[in-house]
């Protein structure tokens, strides 16, 4: 098991807004109600701390702190509503990227569409296997269901709207993808509508007789062979 140690930075349009040091200053201003006290805790001058806060405001384009002068209860400084939100955003983003890192395979999907004894294939536009034919498919996005991923990828690559019919299998053998270890969930699908049109990572999309297929990328020859065996049952 490995632990990933990252230097976290919050940016807006390539402008640096928050890092660990700036985050600490804002936390101390919120806790103490004073830039002066926050600077003292950080071991820096008031002028330096105030300069850092102004840089945060310039980068974010909004007021980060609100100061109150005098009065019966005395003056003080607090974070603005936006300042509190910005601090919370940074903490949540850091939380998502912190912790132990496990070397996991990437999750992908592939779809088999058969029509009148022919199977739909796409010609790959990019490496790996540029200009080779393959089943339409791709990577599953974060928080996306695999069933949604396969219909999305097929529509992006072929223009067709589809629906999942049956799970064909899960393919996870090492070396099946030269980019790294991938696990593919493969479905058969039916077409609901839309003309065929290539797009995304596909140069073209067309049907081929299922027993006269061109040279295929990845392990798609094996996948289609398994599908044909299942479809005979």
Helices and strands: H and E segment counts in the chain: 6, 14
Residue 205 pLDDT grade (very low, low, confident, very high; cuts 50, 70, 90):
very high
Domain closes at, from 101, 129, 164 = 101
* DSSP assignments along 69-133, one per residue: --STT--EEEE-HHHHHHHHHHHHHHHHT-SEE---PEEEEEEE-EETTEEEEEEESSSSSTT-E
Comparing 10 with 188, which gets the higher pLDDT? Answer: 188
**Of the listed ranges 61-65, 87-91, 176-180, 210-214, the one predicted with least confidence:** 87-91
Domain identity same for 121 and 80: no
Instruction: For residue 204, indicate whether it is catalytic.
Output: yes
Looking at per-residue confidence, does 143 or 230 come out higher?
Answer: 230
CB 29 within 8 A of CB 78: yes
List, in order, residues 6 or more apart from 201 with CB less than 8 Å away: 122, 124, 125, 126, 138, 157
Tokens of 205: 């999309």
Within this chain, do residues 37 and 116 fall inside the same structural domain, yes or no? no
171 and 78 both lie in a single domain: no
- In three-state secondary structure terms, 23 is helix
Q: Let me know whether 65 and 121 are in one domain.
A: no
How many whole angstroms separate alpha carbon 136 and alpha carbon 154?
Answer: 6
Domain extent for 126? 106-231
* pLDDT (0 to 100) of residue 229: 95
- pTM for the full predicted model: 0.59
In the chain, the percentage of residues whose pLDDT exceeds 90 is 64
Q: Which of 78, 101, 124 is the last residue of a domain?
A: 101
Residue 70 three-state SS: coil
Q: For all residues of the chain together, what is the average pLDDT?
A: 88
Q: Which residue in 27, 37, 41, 204 is the catalytic one? A: 204
228 preceded by cis ω (within 30°)? no
Assess whether 97 and 110 both reside in one domain.
Answer: no
* One domain, residues 186 and 91: no
Among candidate residues 101, 134, 153, the one where a domain is terminated = 101
CA distance 137 to 184: 9
């Amino acid at each position: 098991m490995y632990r990933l140690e990252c230097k976290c930075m919050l940016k807006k349009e390539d402008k640096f807004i928050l890092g660990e040091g700036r985050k600490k200053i804002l936390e101390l201003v919120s806790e103490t109600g004073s830039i002066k006290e926050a600077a003292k805790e950080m071991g820096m001058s008031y002028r330096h701390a105030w300069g850092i806060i102004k840089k945060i405001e310039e980068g974010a384009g909004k007021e980060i702190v609100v100061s109150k002068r005098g009065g019966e209860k005395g003056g003080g400084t607090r974070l603005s509503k936006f300042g509190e939100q910005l601090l919370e955003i940074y903490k949540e983003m850091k939380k998502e990227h912190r912790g132990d890192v496990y070397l996991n395979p990437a999750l992908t999907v592939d779809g088999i569409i058969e029509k009148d004894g022919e199977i739909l294939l796409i010609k790959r536009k990019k490496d790996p296997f540029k200009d080779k034919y393959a089943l339409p498919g791709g990577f599953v996005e974060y928080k996306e269901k695999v069933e949604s991923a396969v219909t999305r990828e097929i529509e992006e690559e072929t223009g067709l709207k589809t629906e999942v019919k049956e799970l064909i299998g899960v393919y996870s053998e090492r070396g099946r993808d030269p980019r790294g270890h991938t696990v593919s969930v493969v479905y058969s699908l039916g077409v609901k509508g839309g003309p065929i049109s290539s797009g995304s990572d596909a140069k073209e999309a067309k049907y081929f007789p299922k027993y006269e297929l061109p040279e295929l990328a990845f392990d798609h020859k094996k996948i289609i062979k398994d599908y044909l065996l299942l479809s005979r049952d």
